[in-house]
Structure 1
């Protein structure tokens, strides 16, 4: 049933049927609004995202949290350690109200404080390394995919060379060969910068290949042809026309690359080439726990659980984000 088309004198046109019926104007949604609606429906991904935000806040406010609980990461509590066995007094790693996760063997350092401070190291290295690899990989992928020809061949072969590096062995050799002072940095700041460089610089080909494939498809689209016909230069097309359309795959891959970098940093610290003691690191805590596994097996639970839950949260959020940004997914 339609609305009568009688128009009052002086009016230019009849109102749309939906407006006359009281429905109101129908507003379209952007792709980001549609993606946000789809993401909100995925309760598992939202839970992972909330935990990621919680973990970031814990890392930022680690000193305040430890101060409120009344613990410190590097203070020794020899009175809480059995002098003969060198293990915490009591059960469950010596858990008490003063030490919620117990204390370490031998020195009695608080485990809760070291877990909280370890989050700062893991997330700092993971985020900075991911940022470095995303920037390099995105630029290289866009350039290779858009220009093609010998430029694409050169960058693609360079990606293959970097992917052929045994990254763990290279990191072990590089950390051991470099001096203790370099570029004005020393100690743990130098170690953090070195680990970020190794992870970020040698992992960019993974995202570079993805961006290259997406660019090969986008460069044939109509909006790119329209920009060329209007006389747009290549830098404008690359970073104004193509890059905004690559934000979705970049975000998705970055959220999936961060947990990989968390594991890699923990692995380096476990092997003894991460941050130096007494700085807290989840991988270093696992390395110490491995020496006391037969005596205090529960000591490896807090750092192991911290790594597991962190990686799981990022992966769940990344999977949900990928499904929300993919228009072909259900």
Structure 2
């Protein structure tokens, strides 16, 4: 007959010790869970790091150019062949002093102009995205929450804006901008007009997404609970719906920025964006198109800048979408 198992009462853990012990399981917020998923996506993380690096380069362009380059509008005609009007040497005359070479005819530093061009592209893309997000989120939430006639009017307005020939309108409007208006002039006026055109006419895209999410959220239990406690519509919109719309708004914003970068580059390429001598990626591509047979290198730096920027934003946006909504995979 076996001996009964004896348990030492002092070895048993008290409930208070279990609750306060090191093995306690701590909850994680939705933000911490999303960050954990995003860290596991190395491609998206690399895209996000490149986006941060690009923004820093744009902000610190004067300092970087002062160390590694030359003023973007400074001519170096001694580096250009007098007969062919092309840079002397391979790869556009690239060297330690001119990392990306120089432009034909005038010999301006391509590296410096690419850095300064990033300021224009990112500034317009970010401001236009903010304008689109503010308008689209506001109207999308109102349409989805109130429904009825309000929803019908806003939805028909979305259809009209989506059918609008945006590029043609931008070419027509930007091409007839006066020298001074609304207290602005020169490049500041053109940047403001381009931001308005891109941002104001692109809001229906995010507006439709927000409206659809709002239609789903307004039927959820927490909204009914807020109504039963006497909450007004304004409180429900601010405290219950908008916090739950942050994820889709954030994801779509990261995917809208590269589209705006491409749109600004297209306007500059067509000659109706920010005017020379101000450096822009689209303007540099337009100048390079005239020399692609004799100096094809000139087209490579601004083209790669646009390509890598758009790719980085898209990769980061896709990874952010998967991190915030794993069911979308």
The normalised TM-score by structure 2 is 0.94
Compute the displacement of 1:264 (Å).
0.4
Compute the displacement of 1:70 (Å).
3.9
Output the CA distance in 1 between the equivalents of 2:156 and 2:187.
Answer: 35
For 2:105, the equivalent position in structure 1 comes to 106
Compute the displacement of 1:232 (Å).
1.3
Cα gap change, 1:96 to 1:223, in 2 (>3 Å): same
| Contact in 1 for aligned 2:69/2:99 (Cα 8 Å) | no
Output the CA distance in 2 between the equivalents of 1:327 and 1:110.
Answer: 45
Give the number of equivalent residue pairs: 322
Deviation per residue, 1:158-190 (Å, 9 max, x gap): 000001111110000011233121101011000
Output the CA distance in 2 between the equivalents of 1:300 and 1:30.
Answer: 47
Deviation per residue, 1:112-157 (Å, 9 max, x gap): 0000000100000000000000000000000000000000000000
Output the CA distance in 2 between the equivalents of 1:5 and 1:141.
Answer: 65
Compute the displacement of 1:5 (Å).
11
For 1:320, the equivalent position in structure 2 comes to 319
Runs of 4+ with >3 A deviation: 4-8, 16-20
| Contact in 1 for aligned 2:132/2:203 (Cα 8 Å) | yes
| Contact in 2 for aligned 1:5/1:14 (Cα 8 Å) | no
For 2:118, the equivalent position in structure 1 comes to 119
Mapping 1:159-178, distance limit 5 Å = 159-178=158-177
Mapping 1:5-154, distance limit 5 Å = 14-15=14-15, 19=19, 23-154=22-153
Unaligned ranges ≥5, structure 2: 1-6
Unaligned ranges ≥5, structure 1: none
Q: Are 2:274 and 1:311 aligned?
A: no
SS for the counterpart of 1:75 is coil
SS for the counterpart of 1:217 is helix
Output the CA distance in 1 between the equivalents of 2:170 and 2:65.
Answer: 32
SS for the counterpart of 1:96 is coil
Output the CA distance in 2 between the equivalents of 1:208 and 1:158.
Answer: 11
| Contact in 2 for aligned 1:101/1:111 (Cα 8 Å) | yes
Output the CA distance in 2 between the equivalents of 1:260 and 1:17.
Answer: 56
Output the CA distance in 2 between the equivalents of 1:120 and 1:139.
Answer: 28
Mapping 1:126-275, distance limit 5 Å = 126-275=125-274
Cα gap change, 1:329 to 1:155, in 2 (>3 Å): closer
The normalised TM-score by structure 1 is 0.94
Output the CA distance in 1 between the equivalents of 2:183 and 2:328.
Answer: 49
Q: Are 2:299 and 1:300 aligned?
A: yes
Deviation per residue, 1:83-115 (Å, 9 max, x gap): 211111111101111111000011111000000
Deviation per residue, 1:208-240 (Å, 9 max, x gap): 000000000000111111111111111111121
